Amino acid sequence: MTKEQINSVLDRVRNWSPARQEDAALMLLAMEAQNCASYRLSDDERADIEAALEELARDEVASDKDVAEVFNRFRR
């Protein structure tokens, strides 16, 4: 969406009833707050990340060729 399209929508919102404008503002504020919130890992997510980092440290990673073969298999 372009800035012009966003401005156009906001101009239309300004013509809505005050109650509807408040609803729109509260929704936008909630969306903005989601972008600022820190994400907290679950214990399972943290364990998965730690296991993956350990695999990297042991150089247990797929080669570019291996990855390409898997993707090619699913593209057929």
**pLDDT > 80? residue 68:** yes
Tens-place pLDDT, residues 21-67: 999 999 999 999 888 878 889 999 999 999 999 999 999 999 999 99
Rounded to the nearest angstrom, the gap between the alpha carbon of residue 64 and the centroid of all alpha carbons in its chain is 26
What is the model's pTM?
0.46
- For 12-31, b/e burial (b = at least 16 CB within 10 A) is eeeeeeeeeeeeeeeeeeee
pLDDT at 34: 86
